[in-house]
Amino acid sequence: MNKWQPIATAPKDGTVILLCVNKNGHKEFYHASWSKVEFDSDYWKTTERYGWCIEHGDYADCQKEVDGIPTSWSPIDTEGAF
């Protein structure tokens, strides 16, 4: 059973978690991790920052950042997954 915890306590080491996000008053859930978000603001300058990114398996970089306000998180239950 998952135990929801305050977002301030979420791991920011790349661990994939179950993230609860408030999007326009509705709850949405994602497998996500705290990752580097890179985007080019112009041709010569790359801006770097970190944020909650939706997990896409083997991708090394953040492909899609979470849209909404993260409110809580839970570890992903892997017991019995294999």
pLDDT tens column, 38-55: 665 555 556 677 888 887
- Which residues form the domain of 19? 5-75
Q: What is the C-alpha to C-alpha distance for residues 78 and 75, in angstroms, rounded to an integer? A: 9
Contact 14, 34 (CB under 8 A): yes
**67 belongs to a structural domain:** yes
Backbone angles phi, psi at 48, to 5 degrees: -120, 135
Residue 80 falls within a domain, yes or no? Answer: no
**How many distinct structural domains can be found in the chain?**
1
**Stretch 10-28: mean pLDDT:** 94
C-alpha 37: how far from chain center? 11
pLDDT for res 66: 83
Q: What is the mean pLDDT of residues 9-24?
A: 94
The phi and psi torsions of 11 (rounded to 5 degrees) equal: -70, 140
Mean pLDDT throughout 48-64? 70
- Assign 69 a pLDDT band (cuts: 50, 70, 90): very high
Cα separation, 67 vs 72, whole angstroms: 14
Q: Which one has a higher pLDDT value, 62 or 74?
A: 74
Q: Is the residue at 82 inside a domain?
A: no
